[in-house]
A and B are shown apart, each in its own frame.
Chain A
Amino acid sequence: MKLVVENVSRVFPGVRGGEPVRALEPTNLQVATNDFISVVGPSGCGKSTLLRIIAGLDRPSAGRVLLDGKPVAGPGPDRGVVFQSYTLFPWLTVADNIAFGLREKGLPERQRREIVASYIDKVGLRGFENHWPKQLSGGMQQRTAVARALANNPEVLLLDEPFGALDNQTRGLMQELLLGIWEREQKTVIFVTHDIEEAIFIGSRVLVMSARPGRIKTDMPVELAHPRHYTVKTSPAFSALKARLTDELRDEAVHAANEH
């Protein structure tokens, strides 16, 4: 197993004497090498917490995360992260943003430039190398962020609702782009989203999480052949999966809505 989540739970202390919040119940998860896992759930279900714990950006209250058999102690370059918010550094051009991690690692300039150029091509940003982030659309910014994460060649790629702020059409294209890169290059990926269709289309396995306390409710393989074309979204097999997951998620959403 590439990545193992062992009895990981997270309790946030109560605010001003309030009840502590059990954001994540003890959770177990095994991720095989080059698996693409989508995690879907209503807001507040702890899916981002789980991802942040795997990334090392948050600490579990109990349990541990193992990467290649070694426990994770904190964030590191072996787990690349793409955030939902736009995290391109505004003072760096597209190319320099992608090269940022490589430069800090001390990679020689020539090698750096080769890697950056190859990822610029992979995310379709040729011609935009010297643009500032503010000159890019949201979709282009996130493509750059994906390229930046991949350029560091992490063992695992973690994406926290990376396309959540994009409009539907752009989001569809981004899904195809990411899936295409994964199909060609293979990578272990965990992808958090609240969009069922996105979760099914992009993932090889979909985890449905329930809210308050957050836990994994369903773990379902997606047996749709690769390479997947966007037209698969209208196939009967896809629709069946979507219907099932929508049902499961609806229960959770109703649950979560009633608790507020």
Chain B
Amino acid sequence: MATSETNGNPTAPVPPEAGRSGFPARSMVGAGGGAQGGVGAGARRRKPIFRIGARIGNATFVAIAVAVFVLLGLVWWAATASGWVKPIFLPSPVAVWTQLVKLAGDGTLWADAKISIYRIMVGFLIASAMAIPIGVLIGCFRIWEAAIEPLVDFVRYMPVVAFVPLTILWAGTADTQKFLIIWIGTFFQQVLMVMDNVKRVPPDFIGLGRTLGLPERKILTRIVVRSALPGIWDTLRISLGWAWTWLVLAELVAATSGLGYRITVSQRYFQTNTIIGYILLLGLLGLITDQVMKALERVLFGYARRGR
């Protein structure tokens, strides 16, 4: 392939101009600087779909993803419409939808979602605001790593669920307790992941900063953190997904409002349609936040994305 000949870095394709630019600084006679055109020629051969890493078009990707949702929806519909499953265990998609529309209409759904989103935002922001600086510190300094990493690793393996009774004892059933559970569930994971993001900064970046005469403090902020930023963003995106789980857990056990609370209440009245509707809604909310984070990632860190 034309690209791999002229390009030392396999992840970065040469722009078509590269071959033509040559080096004006010295004589080019016979040096072959212009012979690098033709990028992409011969790259369009048909390859089997089940070759490892084989690419598919964007449209195909979306079509397959949508088809899976539709298929599962159809299975669900068929199972309920045929009477194979009783509505008390699994109501039909239509019943779930009408229930959701009803709850949205009388404002219950919005109120529940609002309080839950508020809780997850506060809890997640507190956890992230603490985890990022601490993760950066232990990723950079072995002394901090020795002091904090084993402890965090220890706490990380304590099941969050087991903290629920304790947090109720400490903080009652108010919002503080929800923040606490979200914090326990995400902070310790985030710290270790951010540490890892920081440790992945190429050592030569740091060496380079030193040879440019930057003081350590500036190397930390201008190079290490800056370089780790896309990774840290990814950490936030992934841990936000977990935060949803802990939020609902906290609301299921002890709450007087929120999406989790509504699910518990609905169980008491056998309102399976509400339960399923809310579970789907939670999935949807998670999907939306994930997509928003991904879109922001593309905007903020577009420079780092691998070229197609």
Candidate in A55, A77, A140, A142 with the most chain B CB atoms within 10 angstroms:
A140
Residues in B neighbouring A237, C-beta threshold 8 A = none
The number of A-B residue pairs with CB atoms under 8 Å apart is: 138
Q: How many residues of A contact B (CB 8 A)?
A: 56
The answer for the CA separation of A132 and B306 in the assembled complex, in Å, is 11
Contact A75:B211 (CB < 8 A) given known A128-B21, A137-B12, A138-B8: yes
Stretch of B140-148, B219-227, B235-243, B265-273 that contacts chain A: B219-227
Residues in A neighbouring B5, C-beta threshold 8 A = 167, 169
Contact B23 A90 (CB under 8 A): no
Q: Which residue of chain B is the closest to A123 with respect to CB atoms? A: B25
Residues facing B in A23-65 (CB within 8 A) are 55-57
B202 at interface by CB-CB < 8 Å: yes
A141 at interface by CB-CB < 8 Å: yes
Contact A57 B218 (CB under 8 A): no
B22 at interface by CB-CB < 8 Å: yes
Stretch of A171-179, A188-196, A202-210, A211-219 that contacts chain B: A171-179
Contact B21 A132 (CB under 8 A): no
The answer for the CA separation of A167 and B19 in the assembled complex, in Å, is 14
Contact A137:B211 (CB < 8 A) given known A91-B304, A180-B25: no
Q: A104: which of B21, B204, B213 is its contact (CB, 8 Å)?
A: B213
Give the A-binding residues of B (Cβ under 8 A). Answer: 5-9, 11-12, 14-15, 17-18, 21-27, 31-33, 202, 204-205, 207-208, 210-214, 218, 222-223, 226-227, 229, 301, 303-307
27 pairs of residues in contact across A and B, judged by CB atoms under 8 Å: A55-B207, A56-B211, A57-B207, A74-B210, A83-B204, A85-B202, A87-B202, A104-B218, A123-B25, A124-B24, A133-B303, A136-B18, A137-B9, A137-B18, A138-B9, A139-B6, A141-B8, A165-B8, A167-B6, A169-B5, A169-B31, A172-B31, A176-B26, A177-B25, A177-B26, A180-B25, A180-B26
Give the B-binding residues of A (Cβ under 8 A). Answer: 55-57, 74-77, 79-81, 83, 85-87, 89-91, 100-101, 104-105, 121-128, 131-142, 152, 165-167, 169-170, 172-173, 176-177, 179-181, 229-230
